[in-house]
Structure formats: structure tokens, C-alpha cells
Chains A and B, each alone.
Chain A
Amino acid sequence: MSQKTKVIEKEEVVIRFSGDSGDGMQLTGTQFSDTSALFGNDVATFPDYPAEIRAPQGTVGGVSGFQLHFGHKEINTPGDYADVLVAMNPAALKANLKWVKASGTIIVNEDSFTDRNLDKAGYDSDPLQDDKLADYNLIKARITSMTKECLKDSELDQKSVLRCKNMFALGMVYWIFDRPLEHTEQFIENKFKKHPLVVDGNKKVLKAGFNFAKTIEALSYNYSVLPAKIKKGTYRNITGNKATAWGLIAAAEKARLNLFCGSYPITPATEILHELALRKDLGVKTFQAEDEIAGICTAIGASFVGSLAVTTTSGPGLALKTEAAGLAVMTELPLVIVNVQRGGPSTGLPTKTEQSDLMQAIHGRSGESPLPIIAASTPSNCFDYAFRASKIALEHMTPVILLTDGFIANGAEPWRIPKMEDMPTIEAPIAKEGDDFQPYARDEQKLARKWAVPGVKGLEHRIGGLEKMDVTGTVSYVPENHQIMSDIREERIERIANFIPELEAVGNDEADVLVVGWGGTYGHLITAVRELQKDGKDIALAHFNYIVPLPKNTEEVFKRYKKIIVCELNNGQFSEYLRSNFQTIKFEEYNKLEGLPFTVLELKERFNQLLEEK
């Protein structure tokens, strides 16, 4: 591309962009990952940002980060440690230095290292001036002044000029990794099409950053990361939240039903509602309710009248929805409840990830109130599990909880686009005019009742939260009937196990250690397990997407292994659930509650320890 001295081919690279929460780091990171994905790399991303929209400037608490991992090989995590850190201010450096690999590259905006900013970040002395960063490849760039210089003839106001400085940093990183600028230039043109001055400014600064890196030969070598060898097909980048929304839309199309989403904004689930609200073109109805309760209740109303009904939320919102979820259990109406988990309890860590709503999902309703629980495990498979959750809800006439988490919801990865004709069919048991309908008459296989929708002549009936008589559906306080209906509610959820795939472990059938995980930790667990397998260790992974009911062969799989360790981002909720199901099996635990995903490194350390123990 230019007069570069040396090109080093790398299998994979991790970059972390960091700055103030208003510095545009999320956008910068997204641009780099999109460009890399278009280039053909496999990519995984991890946006890590504070709960405040504009947290106090210059403080460690206000640092917004975006980490991305791209490679020539298969990428399953955003990476533990960064090869390159971009720090737009001292606070960003302070917050992220511990995440930089030994001898990694650090690009800093030198202009921001003023006494005031150093003080705000809690530095006693300027780390650029002492030897604290001696072990790193430090690139100091006067990003603010160069941005201003570059736009000195522009008519943009000072504030807008300064907003362009993230493009300078991006331009620099593009040079280092030999990436084309076209994708980002086009993005800028589209995003600011009404503001030609802004388009012009951002494009100029992007180029200036690229040229600056080239001129100073920011590194004496530059990296080349070749395209990954991935399956043939059409690809796009997708986040977990977008994939969830699209999976729901796909299910509605497949089931030939209208999609209705009643929801209330809550981090980190809101993007699902955003995405669905955009899809009026596909007839999606979104209802931004007055609260979480109205979110699920409007969805229940929509389900009663024959829509594929959905409500989306995060932990505290799920708590508010519990009574209505019980109503959906009692009335056996199809409903998908999406819970994008975040750190708790209470408001907790709204923008950070956790898996601590599992017990709430399983047990968080009054009475004996079973419902199926499904968990997605990667950003792109949120599409598949949202689709499958809808299929189970509709075909088994039940509310379903779909668990994702902040990590996979905000993370993105390239996704091989499926064709709708290849997706499974969805057939809801809709009653038709003339059918011999009784509200609680059931089919023999699934024990699902029929769905008689208002508007159909002759099927007028009443449902509600009061216990109903088996078959006829009239209000019933008969003691024996409550036992019968409770047993049916239990059994029909258990029978879903006949309709889901069996559990498959990755690794030897009788490996020394079986790692068990569920949901969004898949990327880290599979990476750790595969790396150990490469080192010749006898270790396997069983990862769960179906939580309630569990796959039928779960116990059989567990019994093949001597040691089982369950890894989750909570205090052992899945372990506890497994123990209550399989009382003779011993489960070790590896738990973490930092609002962050696992690191592959810490997982490998723990697994090695377990492999060595006699």
C-alpha cells in the first residue's frame, strides 16, 4: 500500500478504543469492526460503556471502551488483552492499561495529558514522561491539535471540529492494519448527509490520521491480518439485540402471524424495541408502554387476539412482569419474554453483563408456575433462539423466557445470513370456525390447548387468571381439579424436551474434565477448551441453550465424565439448578461477578488446576 518497511502477518489482533463517554469510541470501534468484517476477517466485539450518557469528563468512571478482536482464524470472543490500545485521555489510559498485552501498542492523545486531566484521572505524575510505559510501544500523537489544524479552514464550529478527533485516531489505526478507508467514508456520507460540512470535516480528519501514521511510520512494521477461512455464503455484521429482533420477525413471518411487541425502554434491552419499531414495513406493531407491567400486559392482550406477542426487558423489568407472566402461564397463551440480563440486584450495573437472572426466570412467579427457558449464546445465534423461543411459545401455547445478556446483546460478529425457506415451520394450534372447541381440551403429544381467537364465530369463550376446570375452562375451585391442572402445567413444559435437540459435548466422550456453561459465556468457554485441547489436554465442553426443560440426555452426558465444572457469571445458579435435578452428580463451580465476561486466560488457569488435581 505504501512505503511500509515490514509487514507482519498475524493470526488475530485485539484493539481497544477508549475515551470519554462523549468521544465517539463506540462509533469508532464499530467502524473498525465493520471494515474488518467486510475485508473478510472473523470479528467479535465488546462495547463496554458507563451507565451515564455523558459521565463526568476525564474521570476513570466516565471511560467508554470498545474492544474488538479480528482474525484470520475463527474468533469466538472479543479477546482478553489488547494488542493495541487507543486512549483519548489519561483516564482512558488508567482504566485500560491493565487490559493491554505486555509490549502492546498504546496510542495516546498527547494533548489531553494536561495537569487537570491527569489529576482527574488520579495520576500523581504524567505517565508519558516517566518510565511507567517503557515496556509498551507508545505512540504519542497530538490528536486534538492536529484535528484543529486539519480543519482550520473549515466553517465548522469549534465543538464540531473537536468531535472529529475520533476519526483521527481511527485513521491512524486503519494505517497500522492496512485497512481501506472507503467503508467509513461512505458511512460518514450517509450518516451526516444533511450536514455537508460535518461530512467534509470527518473525512478530512480520517485521512489526516491515516497520513499522519504513515508519515511518522507509527510502527516500524505494520500488521496484516488475512481474511478468515469461513463457510461460503452471504454475510453481515449483527449485534445480539438486532439478531433477537430479527429472529422474532422471522418467526412471525414463518407462523403467518402479526408480530406485536409491548415493551418499556430499559438498558441493555432497548435496542430490540428500536429495531422492531423500525420494521413497520414488515407490519410489526410496537407499543411503547407506560411501564414494564403494561409492556407484558399489552403483549398478553395481543396474544389473546392472535398475534405472536413479545415483551423485552432486563432483570428489574422481569421482576415487574412476574404477575402478568403468571397470567400467561395460567391462560396458556403464547408469549415470548426476552430478558437481556445485566448486573444486579436492583439497578445494579445497567450497562454491564451478568447471568444472574436465571433463578428469577425459573422461579420468579407466584404459585407453581412452570415455563420454558431458553438462552442464546452468541450475538448471531440470538436470531435462532428468538426464532425457536417463538416456535415453542406458539406450538406449545406457553409463555417462554428467552435469556440473553448485555455482552452478547451489544457485541457483534459476522453472521452468515440464513434463507427463510431453510428455517423450520411454525404451526400454532389455531382453532377454526366449526371446530369442536373447549378452552382446555388438549392435543395428546404436547398437551397444548387450542388457540381460539376473538373474531372467529362460534368459539366465544372466557379465559382468566382464576383456576379453570380441566377441558371445559369454567372457573373451578374443586380441590382435585387444581391438582390435575397443576400436574398438566408441569408436564406440558417437561414434554417440550421431546421437541428440542439433545445435548452434544465438544471433546472426548470420557474426557478428564467436562466444562459446563450456558448462554452468553459460550465464546470464552469454547475458546479456552479448544486451546487446552490443542495443548493435548483431555477436556470437553457441554454448553446449554435449553435450560427448562433440559435436553433429555443431560444426565447421560454428565455421567460420562469424572469431573464437571460449571462456569457462569453469577454465584452458581445453574450449578444449583443442576444439583436439584441430578442429585448424585458432583458439580464444581467457577463463578464471577465483576460485570465483565470471563477471560480465556482465567478459565484456562482454573481448568488446568482441575485437570491436575487427583
Chain B
Amino acid sequence: MAETVVKTQIPVKLTPKDFKSDQEVRWCPGCGDHGILVSVQKAMAEMGIPREKFAVISGIGCSSRFPYYMNTYGFHTIHGRAAAIASGAKAANPDLEILQISGDGDALAIGGNHFIHAIRRNIDMTILLFNNEIYGLTKGQYSPTSKQGMITKTSPFGTIEEPFHPGELALGAQAKYYARTIDTNIKLTSEILLSASRHKGTSIVEVLQNCVIYNDGAHSLITNKEKKDDYQLILKHGEHMIFGKERNKGLILGGKGKLVVVNIGEHGIEEQDILIHDAHIPDPHMAWLLSNMSAPEYPVALGVIRDVAALSYDEKMTKQIKDVQAKASIKCVDDLLKSGDIWEV
């Protein structure tokens, strides 16, 4: 390193304010989206990427109004299709930094197909999934993440559907990066967004978001000031999985491959017995266990759950084109037209 001259881009000094557009933010007062907007603007200012390189691409839903509030390139598309539109944008121009905004209905119901295939292809972008477990913009119908039994306008006697767990779905689609955060924790959310941006490939960031109007308190166990420390585990790579107000609880691997919550200092359990988080391990088993933990039996895992390096779709596409071009005899359309069987008249 010392001997090579590394040409680095002069870091761009931007502030969160640079990312605010002149549009009035129209989410309901108290909506979790406000906090997420602040987190995104804070993270983007720290990424060192010029503002014009960002494209914020959303689908339809409350959260999908997001691009209008960002002073970047933005595209408010159609319901469910943002992952596909963002995939095309990134494949066509790999230089761009793409943030794809979606809600639980947009990404996991109408757009489920595009969501899983964007992940499978490992398109280099961050998919920020606002999960409020409800359809807000259409005024309160159950979503694919609503808890079974939930009473909504379209399930007046309780839903009879099993919800998706977004982490599990993403891992099933071979996600290399999956993180979870909560709308109220701006510090954690912006840290995660920064790490997601650095990850090459599809980064799934699930934000547990509160809809004050139609599903208030959906995540209250982990937002409640009194109890939240007992019900959330903030994972950090290389650190013990310890949580609790007194930081005396932790996770160990029990029988049959299940995670077990233990109290440090009880039954001979010491800190060193507690599992250490490895976000980079290619095997997705532990990531699956962690992302499927739910309160009150377990703490809800937050932070970067999985971050495994792999080539992204756009890197592979660029390389393939370069390799083919290096050996190609056809260099322009005139060459193409004259290739193969031709004859003179």
C-alpha cells in the first residue's frame, strides 16, 4: 500500500440538510417515518458520496413518498415494482448509489416476486423495508406481516393468515446482508444504513416502524422505555449477544439447535459462555435463528444480523461484458451487419 499511489475521490462534505428537499413532509404527526427520514439524511451525509450519485426509488404506500423529501434523484414508481425498477437502474448504471424504499405491503405482497429476485440476483442496492404490519395509505387493512388474529378493516374477526418474517424471507432468497432496526433509534438506523451502503450486493434493512393511526404500538414491547432493553438485543459483530437493562442476559445455543435466553451469573453461566455474533459467517443458520426471535420469549434482534461478502449482479455483468468485448471481433453495428453469411449482388 505504501508504495502505490492511491487515487481517492476527495470526500464530499455534506450535511443532513443537504439532503432535505423543499417539499413539505406530509406524513401524519408522530409517524415513525419522520425518524427514518432523519436517519437516512444523516447516513447519506456520512457516506462521502456526491449527492447526484444517489437515486432514491420507491413503490407505493405511505413510506414510498420518501423520494419527494430527499434532495437527490428520486423516482416514486408504482405499487410493488420499485425493486424491479431499481434493479434496472443499477444494472444500467452501476455507478449510482441506490436506496430502494418499500413498505411491508409494497415489498412483500404485491411486490414479493421482485423483492426475492432482486435479493437472489444480489443487485447492489439497499432495500429499506418499513415494516408497520399494516396498510396505512389505504386506511388500515392487514398486511403480509400482520400478526395472526389481528383485527383490521379487512379482517373484522381477526386475520387467519400466517405472517411473513421479512428476515426469514430475505434469507430464503439468499440475502447476503440483512439488518434490522427501529424507527425511534436514529443512531442505530443511520449506522446500519452506512454499513448497508458499504456492502456490495442487496442489503435488506428492515425498520420496525410505528403507524400511529392504524397500528399504533405494534412494536411497543421494544420501544417502551421501561421494558425495551429487556426485549431488544443489539447485535455487534465480534461481540457477545448480551442484552437487558442490567446487561445480565444473553443467548446460548441449547439442545436441538435452539437459542436459549440465560441470565449471566445464574446456574454457573458466565459472560464467556454467551454466543459471539459473527455477521460474516456464510452459513445462514445462525442468522435465521436470530432474525426469527420474537418477544416476549426472546429479545428482538436489531443491528446487522448478516453481512457476507459476494460479487454483486452489476459487478458480474460488467465483468462479463468486458471479457466478451476483449475477445470480440464485432466492434460496432457495421461489423455485426456483415457478420455470418453475406453475399454481393
Residues of A participating in the B interface, judged by any CB pair closer than 8 Å: 34, 37-38, 40, 183, 230-237, 246, 249-250, 253, 258, 260, 262, 279-283, 285, 287, 289-291, 293-294, 297-302, 304-307, 309, 323-324, 326-327, 331, 416-420, 454-466, 474-475
- Rounded to whole angstroms, the CA-CA distance of A294 and B86 in the bound complex is 10
Choose among B71, B325, B337 the residue that contacts A281 (Cβ–Cβ < 8 A): B325
Using Cβ atoms and an 8 Å threshold, which residues of chain A touch B23? 474-475
A466 to B59 CA separation, bound complex (whole angstroms): 11
Query: Top 6 A-B pairs ranked by shortest CB distance?
Result: A301-B88, A464-B76, A298-B88, A281-B328, A297-B84, A302-B92
Cβ-defined contact, A250 with B333, below 8 A: yes
- The residues in B between 62 and 88 inclusive whose CB is less than 8 angstroms from any CB of A are 67-68, 70-78, 81, 84-88
| Contact between chains at B117 and A290 (CB < 8 Å) | yes
Residue ID in chain B nearest A331 by CB atoms: B75
Do the beta carbons of B92 and A258 come within 8 Å of each other?
yes
CB distance from A67 to the nearest CB of B (A): 21
Residue B16 CB within 8 A of the other chain: no
Pairwise interchain contact A253-B332, C-beta atoms closer than 8 A:
yes
Which residues in B have some Cβ–Cβ distance to A below 8 Å? 21, 23, 50-55, 57, 60, 67-68, 70-78, 81, 84-93, 95-96, 113-114, 117, 317, 320-321, 324-325, 328-334, 336-338, 340-345
* 15 sampled A-B residue pairs with Cβ under 8 A: A37-B343, A234-B344, A246-B336, A260-B88, A281-B330, A290-B84, A300-B77, A301-B85, A301-B90, A307-B92, A454-B52, A454-B54, A454-B73, A461-B73, A462-B73
- Of B320, B330, B336, chain A has the most CB atoms within 10 Å of the CB of B336
Across the interface, do A38 and B50 meet the contact criterion of CB distance under 8 Å?
no
**Extra inter-chain contacts (20) besides given A287-B91, A294-B117, A309-B88, CB under 8 Å:** A232-B345, A233-B344, A280-B328, A282-B331, A285-B317, A289-B84, A294-B113, A298-B84, A298-B88, A301-B57, A301-B87, A301-B89, A302-B91, A324-B78, A419-B334, A420-B334, A454-B55, A459-B52, A464-B76, A464-B77
Q: What residues of A have a CB within 8 angstroms of the CB of B78 in the complex?
A: 297, 323-324, 326-327, 465
Contact among A34, A287, A464 with B88 in the assembled complex (CB-CB below 8 Å): A287
* B325 adjacent to A34 (CB under 8 Å): no
Contacts of B321 in A (CB 8 A): 280, 283, 285
In contact, A462 and B74 (Cβ under 8 angstroms): yes
A463 x B341 contact (CB < 8 A): no
Selected contact of B81 from candidates A249, A306, A324, A475, CB within 8 Å: A324
Residue in contact with A253 in the complex, picked from B70, B93, B324, B333, CB distance below 8 Å: B333
- B341–A460 touching, CB < 8 Å: no
Partner of B84, one of A233, A260, A293, A466: A293
Contact between A417 and B88, CB atoms less than 8 A apart:
no
Shortest B188–chain A CB gap in Å is: 28
Distance between B330 CB and nearest chain A CB, rounded to angstroms: 5
Contact B96 A462 (CB under 8 A): no
The answer on a CB contact under 8 Å between A456 and B330 is no
The answer to whether B74 and A463 touch across the interface, beta carbons within 8 angstroms, is yes
In angstroms, Cα B77 to Cα A389, docked, is 24
**Closest chain A CB from B215 CB (angstroms):** 25
CA distance A38 to B342 in the complex (A): 8
Interface centre among A183, A287, A297, A455 (most CB of B within 10 A): A297
Q: What separation, in Å, do the CA atoms of A283 and B326 have in the docked complex?
A: 11
Measured CB to CB, the closest approach of chain A to B138, in angstroms, equals: 16
- The distance from the CB of B91 to the nearest CB of chain A, in whole angstroms, is 6
Question: Would A463 and B75 count as touching, CB distance under 8 A?
Answer: yes
Contacts A280-B321, A282-B330, A297-B114; A230 near B345 (Cβ below 8 A): yes
Q: Give the shortest distance, in Å, between B211 (CB) and chain A (any CB).
A: 21
Which residues on B sit within 8 Å (CB–CB) of A281? 324-325, 328-331
Q: Which residues of B contact A466 (CB under 8 A)?
A: 76
Distance from A397 Cβ to chain B, minimum over Cβ atoms (Å): 15
Known: A294-B114, A454-B52, A464-B77. A285 touches B337 (CB 8 A): no
A236 near B340 (CB under 8 angstroms)?
Answer: yes
A332 to B81, CA, bound (A): 18
Task: Assess whether A231 is in contact with B345, with CB atoms less than 8 Å apart.
Answer: yes
Across the interface, A298 reaches (CB within 8 A) one of B51, B73, B87, B333, namely B87
Q: Knowing A291-B113, A297-B77, A464-B67 touch, does A456 contact B52 (C-beta < 8 A)?
A: yes
Given contacts A282-B332, A294-B117, contact A34 B341 (CB under 8 A): yes
- Inter-chain contacts of B91 with A (CB < 8 A): 260, 285, 287, 298, 301-302
Residue contact B345 to A40, C-beta cutoff 8 Å: yes
Assess whether B336 is in contact with A304, with CB atoms less than 8 Å apart. Answer: no
Inter-chain contact B75/A280, CB cutoff 8 Å:
no
Given A246-B333, A298-B87, is A462 in contact with B67 using a C-beta cutoff of 8 Å?
A: yes
Is the CB–CB distance between B113 and A300 below 8 Å?
no
How far does the alpha carbon of A231 sit from the alpha carbon of B344 in the complex, in Å? 10
- In the bound assembly, the distance between CA atoms of A262 and B55 in angstroms comes to 19
* B337 adjacent to A246 (CB under 8 Å): yes
B92 pairs with A233, CB closer than 8 A: no
A455 partner, pick from B85, B96, B342, beta carbons under 8 A: B96
Docked Cα-Cα span, A465 to B67, in Å, equals 12
Question: Nearest-CB distance from A285 to chain B (Å)?
Answer: 6
A487 CB to closest chain B CB (Å) equals 23
Tell me, in angstroms, the Cα distance from A280 to B327 when the chains sit together: 11
Cβ contact within 8 Å between B320 and A234 = no
Q: Are A260 and B333 in contact (CB under 8 A)?
A: no
- Distance from A433 Cβ to chain B, minimum over Cβ atoms (Å): 9
Query: CB-CB < 8 A to A299: which residues of B?
Result: 88
Q: Which residues of A contact B71 (CB under 8 A)?
A: 460
Q: Which residues of A contact B90 (CB under 8 A)?
A: 301
Q: How distant is B254 from chain A, measured CB to nearest CB, in Å?
A: 39
Closest to A227 in B: B345
**CB contact between B93 and one of A235, A298, A306 (< 8 Å): that residue:** A306
Q: A463 touching B76 by the CB < 8 A rule?
A: yes
Which one of A250, A305, A331 lies within 8 Å of B89 (CB-CB)? A305
Give the residue of B93, B336, B344 whose beta carbon is less than 8 angstroms from that of A305.
Answer: B93
Closest CB of chain A to B16's CB: distance in Å?
A: 15
The docked-state distance in angstroms from the alpha carbon of A293 to that of B91 is 17
B198: min CB distance to chain A, Å: 20
- Judging by beta carbons under 8 Å apart, are B81 and A297 in contact? yes
Smallest CB separation, B40 vs chain A (Å): 15
Q: Which residue of A lies closest to B64 (CB)?
A: A464
Question: For residue A290, which residues in chain B have a CB less than 8 angstroms away from its CB?
Answer: 84, 113-114, 117
Partner of B92, one of A183, A285, A294: A285
Best-surrounded residue of B89, B90, B113, B320 (most CB of chain A within 10 A)? B89
A331 to B340, CA, bound (A): 41
Partner of B343, one of A234, A246, A297, A460: A234
**Measured between alpha carbons, how far is A466 from B60 in the docked complex, in Å?**
10
Quick one: closest A residue to B23, CB to CB? A474
Which of the listed residues B88, B114, B317, B321 has the most CB atoms from chain A within 10 Å of its own CB? B88
Residue in B closest to A252 when the chains form the complex, CB atoms: B333
A459-B52, A462-B75 as given contacts; A420 in contact with B333, CB under 8 Å: yes
